[in-house]
Amino acid sequence: MRMPVILALVLALLAALALSAAACSAPTTIYFYNWGEYIAENTIADFEKANPGIKVSMKTFDSNEALYQTLESTSFDVIVPSDYMVARLIKEGKLYKPDMAAIPNNAKYNDPRLKAVAFDPDPAVSSQMFDYAVPYLFCTVGLIYSTADVPAPASDEPADVWAPLFDPKYKDRIGMYDSMRESIGVALNVLGLSLNTVDPAELAKAKDMLIAQKDDVRPIYGIDELKDKYVSGELAAGVAWAGDYVMCLDKLEEAGKDAGQLGFALPKGTNFFVDFLAIPKNAKHPAEAQVFIDYLCRPEVSLADSEYAGYSTPNLEAQKSLPEEIRSNPALYPDDAAIASLEVYYSSDEIDEKYSAIWESVMAH
Ligand code: N2P
C-alpha cells in the first residue's frame, strides 16, 4: 500500500511541474488592429518564429473612424492610426507612451524629416506625436484612372484632376473611399478650399457636391474592394491612396495585363498622410507590443511591408533597396517642397463634429 501512495505523490508532483513549465513557456498573444492589405504575408509568421514567446493576432479595419469606434469597446496592443487620429487619441489621453529605448530601430532608421511636418496646428501636440507613435507607412491621395476610358488630366489643378469623378459620363463607374476625410477632402480640394476648413458655407458647398455626385454619377463607395474593380476595368476612375494604385499595378502584372492600363495623378494641395504604429492606453501587453513595433521597423521587414502594400516606407535603409521607378515617383516619395505643398488632415472637436455630420448626410442621401 505504501508504494502506490508515494508513486501517486511523485506523479502529482511531476504533473504540477509540467503544468508550471507549460505556463512559463505559453506565448503571450498580442492583438494587432491594422488596415486591410497592409502588411506582407510573411511578416507576422516570421516575427513569431523570431520571438517564440509572442503570438500576434491581427484584425483589420478600413477607416480611421472605424478604428476609433472599435477602440471604445476593445483592447488592442498595437493599432495603426493615421496622423490626425494619433493627434486625437493623444489629446483624449487614449495612447500609452511607449519606452522608445525599447524601439531602437525607430530612431535608427526612420526618416527624421517626418518630424518636421505640422500634423497638428498646435506644435506641442505635433511634436508629441513622435513620443507616442512610430511611423509605419506614408502616402498621398490622388486620382486612379483607366487610361483607355479617361484622358490624362490636363494639369495638376484639382478641378482638372478630379473632374472625371463628377462627370455623369462615368455613371456607375466611379470609386469613392468609404472614409469621410478622403471623400469630403476631394470635394474641398476641387473647390480650392482647405482640407480642414470649418467654415459653414465652404463645408455646405462640399456637402452639396458629394450629394449631387451621388445623384448624377452614382459612385461606388468602398476601400480595398475597389482595387479589383480598377484592375478589371469595371471602374473608370476613383479617388485612391497612391499605395492602392501601386497594388493595382502589381495585380495587373500578376494577371499578365499591361500596367499602362491604369494611370495616377496627384492634384495640387491634396492630402499627405503618415500611418503610425501606436499602443492604446488599455493595451494588455505593452512590453510585447514594443517588441513587435521594433521588429516592424527593421529595414528588411519595412521593405517587405512597403512592397507588399504599395505604400511608402519611412525607413531610410529600406528606401535604398527600392526600385528606382518607385523611389523617384513624387506621389510615393514627395520631396520636402512637395510635402510642404500638400495638406495634412487635422483633428479638433469642431472638425470631427462638422465633418461627421456632413458625412452622415451624404451617406444617408
Ligand atoms: C489600405 C491601407 C490604407 C491606409 N489597404 C490608408 N491610411
Residue 62 maps to a domain:
yes
- Ligand 1 atom closest to Cα of residue 273: 7
User: For residue 13, is pLDDT > 80?
Assistant: no
Is 281 found in the same domain as 257? Answer: no
On whether residue 18 sits in a domain, the answer given is: no
- Say whether both 41 and 173 belong to one domain: no
Same domain for 45 and 101? yes
Alpha-carbon distance 350 to 94, whole Å? 19
Counting the structural domains of the chain, the total is 2
Is the same domain home to 57 and 194?
Answer: no
pLDDT at 25: 72
Cα(244) to centroid(ligand 1), Å: 8
Structural domain including 112 reads 28-137+274-321
**Look-up: residue for cell 482638372?**
160
Average pLDDT over residues 127-147: 97
Q: Do residues 214 and 355 both lie within one domain?
A: yes
Q: Which pLDDT tens digit goes with each residue over 316-327?
A: 999 999 999 999
Both 248 and 360 in a single domain? Answer: yes
User: Is residue 334 included in any domain, yes or no?
Assistant: no
Site to probe by mutation for ligand 1, drawn from 35, 83, 177, 312 as the one with most ligand atoms within 8 Å of Cβ, is: 35
- Tell me which of 303 and 17 has the higher pLDDT: 303
Ligand 1: does its nearest atom lie under 6 Å from the Cβ of 60?
A: no
pLDDT tens-digit map of 42-80? 999 999 999 999 999 999 999 999 999 999 999 999 999
- Checking if the pLDDT of 345 tops 50, the result is yes
Residues 241 and 352 in one domain: yes
253 and 162 within one domain: yes
Q: Whose CA is nearest to atom 3 of ligand 1?
A: 35
Name the band, by pLDDT with cuts 50, 70 and 90, for residue 16.
Answer: low
Size (the chain), residues: 365
Assess if residue 15 is contained within a domain.
Answer: no
Pocket test for ligand 1, best of 39, 241, 246, 251 (most atoms within 8 A of CB): 241
Residue 1 lies in a domain: no
Ligand 1 centre and the CA of 145: distance in Å? 18
Q: Is residue 173 part of a domain?
A: yes
Question: How large a percentage of the chain has pLDDT more than 70?
Answer: 93
The per-residue pLDDT for range 19-31, each reduced to its tens digit, is 455 455 799 999 9
Does the beta carbon of 37 lie inside 6 Å of ligand 1? yes
pLDDT, one tens digit per residue, over 253-294 is 999 999 999 999 999 999 999 999 999 999 999 999 999 999
In a domain, 4, yes or no: no
Instruction: Name the pLDDT band for 328 (thresholds 50, 70, 90).
Output: very high
- Residues with Cβ within 8 Å of residue 92, at least 6 apart in sequence: none
Q: What is the pLDDT of residue 300?
A: 98
177 lines ligand 1 (CB under 6 A): no
Asked if residue 357 and residue 281 are part of one domain, the reply reads no
44 shares a domain with 163: no
33 with 84, same domain: the answer is: yes
Residue 99 forms part of a structural domain: yes
Higher pLDDT: 165 or 340? It is 165
Ligand 1 atom, smallest distance to 80 CA: 7
CATH number at residue 283: 3.40.190.10
The pLDDT score that the predictor gives to residue 348 is: 97
Is 360 in the same domain as 224?
yes
